[in-house]
Structure 1
Amino acid sequence: MNQKQILELAIKMGAAADLRGEGAVEKYLDRQKKKFNALSPKKQTEFDKERLVNPYMDSGVWADNGRPVKKVMAGIDICSGDVMLAKSLGVDTIINHHPLGKGLAMLDEVMHLQADVLAMYGVPINIAESLMKTRISEVGRGVHASNSYKTIDAAKLAGVNLMNMHTPADNLVASFLKKAIEKKKPEYVGELVELIAGIEEYKESAKRGSPVKIFSGFEDRRVGKIALTEITGGTEGAKTIYREMANAGIGTIVAMHLSEEHRKNAEEAHINVVVASHIASDSLGMNLFLDELAKKGIEIIPCGGLIRVKRSKEG
């Protein structure tokens, strides 16, 4: 495989796991094509054509020497030092989870996914889009000044391939947890915590000092409707969304991470919040993807905080 094929596989798996359904992903790409076709020839030359095939623009290939990929270093947060380590280990490609380069600059673009997921759980789409618009603008301003090409520059100088997959991996986490929750049907918050904490990545995370935690609510409260609204879609959603979620009948949110302001607003709306450890969640999504690469004979070297758990014998 080459990096382009790896990215295509990530997009395919991410779309299949997308909580909105593959049809919604296809509709999004169709809209991008219509927008492109409506542009003047001059504007079309300026249009990023990656948008026509990649619905998750926070993921992409950033350094590519064209060589086939046989050995991968995979991590959650790879830095320039890890690039040099990868080179010394004979790694062909580094796959980072969190966005790099243009992927970080476009983090806000994937956040529109959250409005659709909120609507899926009963929040009126007009309200979800309105509240998310404010948060999306905030995130866009926040990443604007980032020095997002530092690691990419190091990879190019070292002659090591570099890519990242963010939302596709997060979609895999959301789908995995959704299926586990629907199978077990926890009634109480404590049961939900126990369910997530029993997954291997979260077990290891607990050993490392970051267990699954209740940020709002308590163990003996009933979960009500459980929403996976803060697992995928870029980063934390709108700070003011929780009252609307409560009005939609949502009783419990499963999140990767949550700011104090988000937590307080959820608490005021009487919504339980279970925070599934951030790095463990990221690792789960990456592992589900990396297992597929391992099945194709690619060697995986974990680094950069990745909690590697193999679910296939090839991994």
Structure 2
Amino acid sequence: MKNFKKIPKFKNEKQEKEFWSKNDSVDYIDWSKARKNSLINFKNKDMNLQEIYRLAIDFGIKNDLRGEKEVKKILERKNKQYSKLTKEEKESFDKEKLSNPYMDSTIHFDSGNQIKKVMVGIDIDAGELLIAKELGVDAVIAHHPIGKGLSYLDDVMHLQADVLAMYGVPINVAESLMKIRISEVSRSVNPANHFKSPMAAQNLKMNFMNVHTPADNAVATFLKNLIEKKKPEYVSEIIELLEGVPEYKDAKKYGLGPTLFAGNKENRAGKIAVTEITGGTEGSPEIYEKMANAGVGTIIAMHQSEKHREAAEKAHINVVIAGHISSDNIGVNLFLDELEKKGIKIMTCSGLTRVSRVKK
């Protein structure tokens, strides 16, 4: 981990400009503190892709349901494990894991150029990259994993076991069931052509990255806070509450609003769990019985397979599907708010509708 250069509290603009004239290119500046201590219009300072990437990871940690302290403990453990590897093992170890707890989110091509305008979408392929090149944007940001991010999708699923434990499922049970599902996901993504889109970005010299779990963490925390604040008693009240969120309201116009997959709208919700929003993809269908035993009455999910729905119904758990792409929109928009605050211009594509929550 780099030691950040200390940012002084500036007394006047002259002092600040003098500081930046000497340190503007230093890559170990603590940029978040720099902007906080700035007296001039620092928010409009261009960023590079590494800074946007680090902003995304830090944003994900801040919004992680497990809490920042727990995530940092996980990274510390990873660093200790790395220190015990042999020289040969260290050579093949992906060192990004030492500072990034969300390996499904990463940089796919970085030109090193400064970035003023980004194009952001839920799913990005060569077509969107070509459009971005034609429109003259500086970088493309996808939500769903591609490239190395997709190959590491299973790596972030351990998060689900910790979240289940938060709602009362014994951690040993949650981990045991998740390990089976994680192995399934690992095998399912293995045959994919992971190099397709990253190579297209490389050929086009287009800055390219994706932000998956950090954005999913944001929408999970957003929904958890909303539920805890409004305290809906009935399942119907959960659906009504979700329909008031701009992204879900917009999805409803297309027949894709929040809906009930299992249970009854007139059922009382009981303990409401936000367990199927973040952590890669769907967990094990066997977990619903354990959740019911832990006192969970209703779960809010992005999406759910028929196999999982039947298992939840059998366990007498109400399932409210908030919506997949609409939930992705919330998480990505919350992250884009952070970019907007930095003065980055944003263009959307591929299923993303911009909703800004930045106070003007």
TM-score bracket relative to the smaller structure = over 0.9
Q: Return the match for 1:32 from 71, 74, 78.
A: 78
Q: Return the match for 1:164 from 185, 194, 210.
A: 210
Identity across matched positions, percent: 60
Tell me which residue corresponds to 1:256: 302
Structure 2 residue 337 is matched with structure 1 residue 295: no
CA distance in 2, matches of 1:155, 1:304: 16
Q: Return the match for 1:229 from 256, 264, 275.
A: 275
5+ residue gaps, structure 2, are 1-46
Partner SS for 2:124: coil
Shift of 1:157: 1.0
Which residue type is aligned with residue 11 of structure 1? Answer: I
CA distance in 2, matches of 1:211, 1:281: 10
Structure 2 residue 237 is matched with structure 1 residue 191: yes
Structure 2 residue 328 is matched with structure 1 residue 275: no
Structure 2 residue 146 is matched with structure 1 residue 97: no
Shift of 1:44: 1.0
Relative to the length of structure 2, the TM-score reads: 0.86
Which residue type is aligned with residue 173 of structure 1? Answer: V
Tell me which residue corresponds to 2:158: 112
Shift of 1:313: 5.1
Which residue type is aligned with residue 70 of structure 1? Answer: K
Shift of 1:46: 1.2
CA distance in 2, matches of 1:111, 1:201: 25
Tell me which residue corresponds to 1:180: 226
Relative to the length of structure 1, the TM-score reads: 0.98
Spell out the pairing of 1:301-312 with structure 2 (5 A cutoff).
301-312=347-358
Tell me which residue corresponds to 1:121: 167
Which residue type is aligned with residue 90 of structure 1? Answer: G
Q: Return the match for 1:147 from 189, 193, 197.
A: 193
Shift of 1:108: 0.3
5+ residue gaps, structure 1, are none
State the superposition RMSD in angstroms: 0.8
Tell me which residue corresponds to 1:21: 67
CA distance in 2, matches of 1:259, 1:221: 22
Tell me which residue corresponds to 2:19: none
Tell me which residue corresponds to 1:2: 48
Shift of 1:149: 2.1
Shift of 1:38: 0.5
CA distance in 2, matches of 1:205, 1:234: 22
Which residue type is aligned with residue 227 of structure 1? Answer: A
Partner SS for 1:181: helix
* Deviating 4+ runs (over 6 angstroms): none
Q: Encode CA deviations 1:42-82: one digit per residue, 9 max, x unaligned.
A: 11111110000000000000011110111000000012111
Query: Which structure has the larger Rg?
Result: 2
CA distance in 1, matches of 2:252, 2:112: 40
Partner SS for 1:234: coil
Shift of 1:150: 1.3
CA distance in 2, matches of 1:128, 1:291: 34
CA distance in 1, matches of 2:126, 2:59: 28
